């Protein structure tokens, strides 16, 4: 008999200090609404889970919906003993935020956050519903935009703040100077600001032209007073025209909040200042210094959004008499719409309804309606609603209910940006759509900006090779499903001339075994002039320029996975980038497996696990002598090894199972029913899990039955005697454990290999 070996690979690795995390995932084993008693401290989520590939700097816990502010309102507190290096600020009774500071591993933060408690302190009047959100990092999460915001302190000019913001990232989302596209967004930021700061607005000629991707304005006089967003998804969008005196006038569909008498261009003022006071109004300033700037993350076309950086828990407080509103928290089409909201469970009377565009960060606007239902029509922007109620309880008048939203997102075609406005024949047109709202139906191409040809592309980017010289135009058709007609973006002109386009080539990669290291990476296979090198330590989310125009780039003491690339230029034929080279510390995982007889083939597949998603890195076959080897980056990422075993030459008598066929029968008078075993049949255990091959799964399923790991089915017969029964279904539904998790954090590896030998098996069950 050919023996089959069931192999368990277990890697026991010592831990070392973590670097800064680039991936994170928040989760919980309990997503149900948390019901708690009023004025009682209760843990928000004792089951929260956090995983990351390094240290996380800071955490925020915020009451993100229906926060009752003030000393007699809602509260959060930390209850665990904080480890060294981690601190917590006093709960902010104005913003509803509990801020933790310091850098720690995911495991440490998990323990800290499981101890966060909430209570509503109001004795007589309290609202039923709340939402509490855990946020990784030192940023603030805005549920209105689903973006993240951060005030970056430091005496800095506007131009330097723009560069600094664009070099920042938040777990795969690239940073940019904040853009306030609505009153709701502006008020959210204003409420969190403690100092004045720069934001992403300008009317300076060179900056505006760069934001629009072409020379739209030939002089400063031509653009003066025409304020544009110069960053983020709205990059290149004109939102305000005119200086104080003749203006300013907000562009239709846009938003602006200039302070009185601003902008006034008093002495060359071309850069946007956000007031921390003065209700978050705006001012124009020259390129001087401010105490900091507002950095925003979210909405960019190349953002990596797979990281789960927030976790929201819904809360209901027992005994609340305010009731709750149904019919809201939905998306509706802009313009022609009608929605009815209904207040349920109120014990008392409705005093009035209110609406708000910023979820009541500022005072609500009164609606004269004292019924328990409210019908709203023809909304053109997202609006929040709540009822003000007078419950029957004493001293409980003027209580606001929890709010609901009606989300209105008018279709917006966005703006097209090009990597190169001018290329040469045979070069690549590389286009990206930004700031759109709705689905991309298609891209279109034209040679006259009138007659259009469709391209089969529904993504926000388009790359294609153009072989003939000429002028080409591109546009995008965007539509919100079931919400009116499609809209088209402004066209983007690309000039194609004769010449030889640059070839990016490739940069070599290096695997290192120690954090004490030095060496070079080399560019090859390229053409054109080297403009610069760049490097990235967050998998290409942001890049830092390196002053280097040679074909080699040196590195020293690399501790974090680092990407290198080169930008090349060929005359007026545009730019090209090389493929990325990778320099990283790797861990060699190697070992020896005792091979079974029977000409086996054993393969090992290595998967990288991020946010519970497995991505195949490499699959290798174990050598004939049983040895194997993997190179795994030491980047605090979790990996999984999945073994697979196939044996050739299985004969008809190898590894059989014998069982009786089960049939339903009835007694003659049809008064009782049971099961009877009829005949005996052989079934080949060589493919117990029915996947077409003999593998570890088959071995496990049978071994599990034999060892008692899987309970044997019991059948109750007429005389109440129990009979053991093994059925094909029992085998098919058992989940085989054939994968094993490892967490690589060091170059030192210890491995344990366990196995069990399975011989001939012949099981038979019958009935008397």
DSSP 399-453: EEPPPEEEEE---B--EEEES-SEEETTEEEEEEEES-BSEEEEEEEESSSSS-E
- Over residues 271-277, the mean pLDDT reads 93
Residue 51's pLDDT is 87
Residue 179: pLDDT band (50, 70, 90) is: very high
- Over residues 717-725, the mean pLDDT reads 32
- Over residues 751-767, the mean pLDDT reads 25
Return the sign of the alpha-carbon dihedral for residues 670, 675, 680, 683: positive
pLDDT above 50: residue 435:
yes
Is 587 or 736 the better-scoring residue by pLDDT?
Answer: 587
Residue 8's pLDDT is 27
Distant-in-sequence contacts of 223-228, Cβ < 8 A, 24+ apart? 224/265, 225/263, 225/265, 227/201, 227/202, 227/203, 227/256, 227/263, 227/272, 228/201, 228/202, 228/203
Residue 649's pLDDT is 39
- 244-248, 267-271, 617-621, 718-722: least confident range: 718-722
pLDDT above 60: residue 93:
yes
pLDDT above 60: residue 654:
no
Residue 15: pLDDT band (50, 70, 90) is: very low
Residue 606: pLDDT band (50, 70, 90) is: confident
pLDDT above 50: residue 722:
no
Residue 620's pLDDT is 80
Is 583 or 737 the better-scoring residue by pLDDT?
Answer: 583
Residue 470's pLDDT is 94
pLDDT, tens only, 191-206: 888 889 999 999 999 9
- Over residues 210-238, the mean pLDDT reads 93
Structure tokens at 108: 């440490």
* Number of separate helices (H) and strands (E) present in the chain: 7, 60
Which residues share a beta bridge with 433? 416
pLDDT above 50: residue 748:
no
Residue 100's pLDDT is 97
SS3 734: coil
- 31-35, 137-141, 548-552, 612-616: least confident range: 612-616
Residue 601: pLDDT band (50, 70, 90) is: low
DSSP 654-721: TTEEEEEEEEEEE-TTSS-EEEEEEEEEEEEGGGTT-SSS--HHHHHHHHHHHHTSSPPEEEE-TTS-
Residue 605: pLDDT band (50, 70, 90) is: confident
Instruction: Report whether 479 contacts 439 (CB < 8 A).
Output: yes
Which residues share a beta bridge with 30? none
- 46-55, 220-229, 268-277, 635-644: least confident range: 635-644
Nearest to 14 by CA among 611, 643, 737, 587: 587
Architecture of the 415-497 domain: Sandwich (2.60)
Where, residue-wise, is CATH 2.60.40.10 in the chain?
Answer: 321-408, 415-497, 507-585
Between CA 176 and CA 185, with CA 179 as vertex, the angle to 5 degrees is 125
Residue 9's pLDDT is 29
Which residues share a beta bridge with 24? 52
- 162-176, 510-524, 582-596, 638-652: least confident range: 638-652
Residue 31: partners with Cβ closer than 8 Å, 6 or more residues away: none
Phi and psi based region of residue 612 (left: phi greater than 0; alpha: psi -120 to 50; beta: remaining): left
pLDDT above 80: residue 128:
yes
pLDDT above 50: residue 83:
yes
pLDDT, tens only, 329-382: 888 998 889 999 999 988 889 999 999 998 888 889 999 999 999 999 999 889
Residue 328's Cβ-count burial label (10 Å; 0-12, 13-18, 19+) is buried
pLDDT above 90: residue 565:
yes
Structure tokens at 191: 């409420």
CATH of domain 146-306: 3.10.100.10
- 475-484, 612-621, 647-656: least confident range: 647-656
Instruction: Report whether 334 contacts 482 (CB < 8 A).
Output: no
For residues 731 and 766, what is the distance between their CA atoms, to the nearest angstrom? 18
Cα-based distances in Å from 666 to 670, 672, 718, 768: 6, 6, 11, 17
Percentage of the chain lying above the pLDDT 90 cut: 48
Instruction: Report whether 209 contacts 216 (CB < 8 A).
Output: yes
For residues 554 and 523, what is the distance between their CA atoms, to the nearest angstrom? 12
- Over residues 64-88, the mean pLDDT reads 89
Residue 599's pLDDT is 54
Residue 691's pLDDT is 56
Average pLDDT of the chain, as a whole number: 79
Nearest to 490 by CA among 511, 472, 475, 470: 475
- Over residues 111-135, the mean pLDDT reads 89
β 330-332/404-408 pair status: parallel
Nearest to 700 by CA among 660, 661, 740: 740
Largest CA distance in the chain: 106
pLDDT, tens only, 659-705: 333 333 232 333 222 223 333 333 333 345 555 554 555 555 554 44
Query: According to the CATH classification, is domain 321-408 in 3.90.1150.10?
Result: no
Residue 613's pLDDT is 67
DSSP 8-state class, residue 527 = B
Evaluate the omega torsion of the peptide bond into residue 248 and state whether it is cis, within 30 degrees of 0: yes
Architecture of the 507-585 domain: Sandwich (2.60)
Where, residue-wise, is CATH 3.10.100.10 in the chain?
Answer: 146-306
DSSP 23-42: -EEEEES--SPEEE-TT--E
- Over residues 516-524, the mean pLDDT reads 95
For residues 488 and 406, what is the distance between their CA atoms, to the nearest angstrom? 26
- 153-157, 239-243, 615-619, 654-658: least confident range: 654-658
pLDDT above 60: residue 90:
yes
pLDDT above 50: residue 757:
no
Residue 447: partners with Cβ closer than 8 Å, 6 or more residues away: 470, 471, 472, 473
- Over residues 494-522, the mean pLDDT reads 93
- Over residues 585-590, the mean pLDDT reads 77
Tokens 């989300």, located at residue: 407
Nearest to 377 by CA among 334, 409, 343: 334
Percentage of the chain lying above the pLDDT 70 cut: 77
Architecture of the 19-137+309-320 domain: Sandwich (2.60)
Nearest to 168 by CA among 270, 54, 20, 62: 20
* b/e map 48-66, b = 16+ CB within 10 Å: bebbbbbbbebbbbbbbbb
pLDDT above 50: residue 1:
no
Instruction: Report whether 300 contacts 232 (CB < 8 A).
Output: yes
Residue 593's pLDDT is 64
What DSSP element (H or E) covers 206?
helix 205-212
For residues 407 and 481, what is the distance between their CA atoms, to the nearest angstrom? 15
For residues 315 and 402, what is the distance between their CA atoms, to the nearest angstrom? 11
């Amino acid at each position: 008999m050919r023996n089959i070996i069931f192999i368990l690979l277990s890697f026991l690795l010592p831990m070392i200090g973590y670097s800064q995390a680039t991936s994170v995932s928040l989760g919980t084993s309990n997503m149900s609404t948390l019901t708690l008693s009023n004025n009682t401290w209760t843990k928000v989520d004792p089951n929260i889970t956090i995983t990351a590939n390094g240290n996380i700097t800071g955490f925020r816990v915020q009451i993100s919906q229906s926060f009752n502010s003030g000393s007699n309102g809602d509260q959060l507190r930390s209850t665990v003993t904080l480890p060294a290096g981690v601190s917590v600020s006093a709960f902010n009774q104005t913003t509803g935020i509990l801020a933790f500071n310091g850098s720690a591993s995911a495991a440490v933060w998990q323990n800290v956050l499981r101890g966060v408690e909430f209570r509503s302190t109001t004795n007589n009047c309290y609202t039923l519903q709340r939402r509490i959100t855990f946020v990784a990092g030192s940023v603030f999460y805005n549920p209105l935009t689903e973006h993240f915001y951060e005030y970056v302190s430091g005496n800095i000019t506007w131009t330097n703040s723009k560069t600094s913001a664009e070099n920042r990232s938040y777990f795969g989302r690239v940073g940019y100077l904040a853009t306030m596209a609505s009153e709701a967004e502006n008020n959210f930021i204003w409420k969190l600001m403690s100092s004045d700061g720069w934001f992403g607005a300008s009317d300076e000629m060179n900056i505006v032209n760069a934001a629009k991707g072409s020379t739209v304005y030939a002089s400063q006089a031509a653009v003066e007073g025409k304020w544009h967003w110069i960053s983020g998804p709205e990059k290149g969008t004109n939102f305000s025209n005119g200086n104080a005196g003749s203006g300013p006038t907000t562009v239709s569909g846009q938003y602006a909040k200039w302070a009185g008498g601003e902008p006034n261009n008093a002495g060359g003022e071309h850069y946007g200042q956000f007031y921390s006071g003065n209700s978050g109004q705006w001012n124009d300033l020259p390129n001087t210094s401010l105490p900091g700037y507002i950095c925003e993350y979210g909405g960019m076309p190349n953002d990596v959004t797979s990281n789960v950086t927030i976790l929201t828990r819904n809360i209901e407080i027992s005994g609340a008499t305010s009731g709750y509103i149904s019919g809201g928290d939905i998306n509706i089409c802009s313009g022609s719409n009608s929605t009815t909201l209904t207040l349920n469970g109120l014990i008392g009377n409705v005093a009035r309804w209110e609406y708000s565009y910023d979820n009541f960060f500022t005072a609500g606007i009164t609606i004269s309606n004292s019924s328990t239902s409210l019908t709203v029509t023809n909304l053109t922007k997202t609006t929040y609603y709540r009822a003000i109620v007078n419950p029957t309880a004493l001293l409980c008048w003027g209580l606001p209910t929890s709010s609901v939203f009606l989300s209105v997102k008018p279709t917006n075609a966005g703006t097209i940006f090009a990597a190169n406005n001018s290329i040469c024949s045979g070069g690549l047109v590389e286009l990206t759509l930004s700031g759109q709202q709705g689905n991309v139906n298609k891209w279109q191409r034209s040679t006259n900006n009138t007659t259009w040809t469709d391209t089969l592309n529904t993504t926000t980017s388009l790359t294609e090779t153009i072989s003939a010289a000429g002028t080409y135009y591109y546009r995008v058709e965007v539509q919100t499903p079931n919400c009116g007609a499609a809209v088209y973006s402004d066209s983007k002109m690309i000039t194609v001339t004769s010449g030889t386009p640059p070839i990016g080539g490739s940069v070599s990669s290096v695997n290192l075994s120690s954090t004490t290291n030095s060496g070079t990476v080399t560019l090859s296979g390229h053409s054109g002039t080297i403009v610069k090198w760049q490097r990235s330590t967050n998998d290409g989310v942001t890049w830092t320029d390196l002053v280097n125009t040679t074909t080699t780039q040196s590195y020293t003491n690399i501790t974090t996975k680092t990407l290198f690339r080169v930008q090349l230029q060929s005359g007026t034929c545009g730019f090209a980038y090389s493929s990325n080279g990778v320099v990283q510390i790797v861990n060699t995982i190697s070992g020896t497996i005792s091979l079974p007889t029977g000409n086996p083939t054993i393969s090992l597949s290595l998967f990288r696990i991020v946010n519970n998603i497995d991505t195949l890195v490499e699959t290798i076959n174990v050598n004939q002598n049983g040895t194997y080897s993997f190179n795994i980056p030491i980047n605090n990422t979790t990996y999984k090894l999945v073994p697979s075993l196939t044996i050739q030459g299985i004969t008809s008598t190898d590894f059989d199972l014998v069982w009786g066929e089960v049939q339903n029968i009835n007694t003659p008078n049809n008064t009782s029913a049971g099961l009877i075993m009829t005949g005996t049949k052989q079934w080949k255990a060589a493919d117990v899990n029915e996947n077409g091959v003999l593998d570890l799964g088959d071995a496990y399923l049978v071994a599990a039955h034999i060892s008692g790991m899987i309970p044997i089915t019991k059948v109750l017969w007429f005389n109440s005697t129990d009979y053991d029964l093994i059925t094909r279904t029992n085998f098919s539904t058992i989940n085989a454990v054939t994968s094993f998790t490892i967490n690589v954090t060091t170059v030192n590896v210890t491995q344990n290999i366990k196995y069990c030998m399975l011989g001939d098996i012949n099981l038979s069950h019958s009935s008397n």
